[in-house]
Amino acid sequence: MDDNKKKKKILDDYQLSIHRFGRISSAIVVLALIAVPLLLTLKVGVAIDVKTTLKAFLGIFSLFGILTIVEFLSYAPIVGAGGLYLCFITGNTINMKLPASISSVKLAGVEPGSKEAEVISLIAVAVSSITTVIVVTIGMIGLSFLVPIMESPQLKPAFANLMPALLGALATPIFLKDSNSIKTASLPSLIAVILTFAIGYTTFSKLSALAMPVFLVIAVLWQYFLYKIKKRNQTV
Amino acid sequence: MNPETMAIANSGFMLLLCAIPIAIVLFQAIIFLIKAWREAKAIGIPVSTLKRVATNSAVFSIVPSLPIIIILSVLMPALGKYFPWLRLSVIGSAMYESMAATTTVKSFGFMNLVDSHITPSIFLSIAWVMTLGIISYPIANIIFLKRYDTTVTSLKRKGGFIEQAIGALFIGFMAVMGIPELVNYKNPVGITTIIVAGLVAIIIEKFAKKSEKGSILKDFSFPISMIVGMASAIPISKILQ
| A121-153: pLDDT as tens digits | 999 999 999 999 999 898 888 866 776 777 788
β-sheet bridge partners, residue A91? B92
Task: Return the pLDDT at A5.
Answer: 57
Q: Are A120 and B39 in contact (CB under 8 A)?
A: no
Question: Are the beta carbons of B171 and A188 separated by less than 8 Å?
Answer: yes
From first CA to last CA, the distance across chain A in angstroms is: 43
Task: Return the pLDDT at A1.
Answer: 47
- Nearest Cα of chain A lies from the Cα of B207 at a distance, in angstroms, of 13
* Half-sphere exposure (Cβ direction) of B176: Cα atoms closer than 13 Å: 25
Q: Is B168 exposed, middle or buried (0-12, 13-18, 19+ CB in 10 A)?
A: buried
Question: Are the beta carbons of B31 and A21 separated by less than 8 Å?
Answer: yes
* Half-sphere exposure (Cβ direction) of A35: Cα atoms closer than 13 Å: 15
- Nearest Cα of chain B lies from the Cα of A135 at a distance, in angstroms, of 7
Is residue A172 predicted with pLDDT exceeding 60? Answer: yes
Asked casually if ipTM beats, i.e. exceeds, 0.90, the reply is no
Instruction: Find chain B residues with C-beta within 8 A of A13's C-beta.
Output: none
| A22-32: pLDDT as tens digits | 999 999 999 99
Q: Mean pLDDT in each 10-residue stretch from start to end of chain B (241 residues)?
A: 84 94 97 98 96 93 84 84 92 82 83 73 93 93 95 82 82 88 92 95 85 71 89 92 76
Task: Return the pLDDT at A144.
Answer: 65
Interface test with A, best of B110, B137, B206 (most A CBs within 10 A): B137
Shortest CA distance from B188: residue in chain A? A161
Task: Return the pLDDT at A4.
Answer: 57
Interface test with A, best of B70, B72, B181 (most A CBs within 10 A): B181
Residues 56-85 of chain B with CB under 8 A from chain A are: 56-58, 60-70, 72-73, 81-85
- Burial code (b: 16+ CB inside 10 Å, e: under 16) for A200-218 equals ebeebbeeebebbbbbbeb
How many beta-carbon pairs under 8 angstroms link A with B? 542
Name the 3-class secondary structure at A91.
strand
Higher pLDDT, A3 or A17: A17
Shortest CA distance from B195: residue in chain A? A168
Question: Distance (Å, rounded) from C-alpha A215 to C-alpha A207?
Answer: 12
CA distances from A178 to A182, B11, B197, B218 (A): 6, 57, 19, 18
Q: Which residues, at least 6 apart from B129, have a Cβ–Cβ distance to it below 8 Å?
A: A53, A56, A57, A60, B100, B101, B103, B104
Task: Return the pLDDT at B126.
Answer: 92
Average pLDDT, chain A: 88
Question: Are the beta carbons of A59 and B107 separated by less than 8 Å?
Answer: yes
**DSSP-assigned states of every residue in B178-203:** HHHHHT-TT-HHHHHHHHHHHHHHHH
Instruction: Find chain B residues with C-beta within 8 A of A19's C-beta.
Output: 145-146, 149
Task: Return the pLDDT at A145.
Answer: 72
Alpha-carbon torsion B25, B31, B37, B43, what sign? negative
Cα–Cα–Cα angle for B2, B3, B7, nearest 5°? 120
pTM, two decimal places = 0.84
Instruction: Find chain B residues with C-beta within 8 A of A122's C-beta.
Output: 32-33, 35-36
Cα torsion through B190, B196, B202, B203, rounded to 10: -170
| A36-74: pLDDT as tens digits | 999 999 998 888 999 999 988 988 888 888 889 888 988
Q: Are B193 and B182 in contact (CB under 8 A)?
A: no
- Nearest Cα of chain B lies from the Cα of A40 at a distance, in angstroms, of 7
| B25-58: pLDDT as tens digits | 999 999 999 999 999 999 999 999 999 999 999 9
